[in-house]
């Protein structure tokens, strides 16, 4: 497990190459933060900060160029989104056309809870139907076995 963690951390460190880094630590920190908000269009489930793909490298360089040019974080994200579309954002904004994307997990959770509750009720009802009360002879025999008779 420790080896896996070391490999994962090492791969993250290798994604941003030394030649890409900005000299100003504050600007570099902003670039890393912004890069974690952008999706690698090749890998699709990784941020450009984590990806070793050539396109991710180009996007990281573009982010750094915009930061050096004086853009704010929002301006950098807007610039990249305008160029590559909303899909490049790892967390797309909450809008009418992204409503299904944001609500699907909640709807799946609610649906799962409803199905589980219905199944539990059905199971409990079926168990209740199978319970047959003891006859007088069975009650007497049970009392005798438990030592309550006499």
Q: Identify the CA nearest to 35 among candidates 21, 24, 10.
A: 21
**CA-CA distance, 105 to 65, in Å (whole number)?**
36
- Count CB neighbours of 56 within 10 A: 24
* Stated pTM of the model: 0.56
Interaxial angle between packed helices 73-84 and 54-68, expressed in degrees from 0 to 180 and rounded to the nearest 10: 140
Q: Per-residue pLDDT tens, the chain, 150 aa: give them.
A: 655 544 544 444 446 666 677 778 888 899 899 999 898 888 878 888 888 889 888 999 999 999 999 999 999 999 999 998 888 888 877 777 777 777 888 899 999 999 999 988 888 776 666 777 889 999 999 999 998 755
Using the CB atoms, write b or e for 73-105: b if 16+ within 10 Å.
Answer: eeebbebbbeebeeebbeeeeeeeeeeeeeeee
């Amino acid at each position: 497990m420790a080896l896996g963690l070391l490999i994962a951390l090492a791969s993250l460190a290798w994604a941003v190459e030394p030649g890409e880094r900005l000299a100003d630590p504050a600007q570099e920190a902003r670039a890393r933060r912004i890069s974690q908000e952008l999706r690698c269009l090749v890998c699709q489930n990784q941020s450009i900060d984590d990806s070793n793909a050539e396109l991710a490298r180009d996007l990281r360089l573009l982010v750094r160029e915009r930061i050096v040019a004086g853009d704010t974080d929002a301006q950098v994200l807007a610039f990249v989104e305008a160029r590559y579309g909303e899909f490049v954002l790892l967390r797309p904004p909450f809008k009418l056309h992204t409503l299904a994307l944001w609500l699907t997990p909640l709807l799946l959770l609610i649906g799962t809870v409803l199905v589980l509750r219905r199944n539990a009720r059905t199971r409990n009802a079926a168990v209740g139907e199978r319970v047959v009360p003891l006859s007088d002879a069975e009650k007497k025999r049970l009392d005798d076995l438990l030592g309550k008779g006499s």
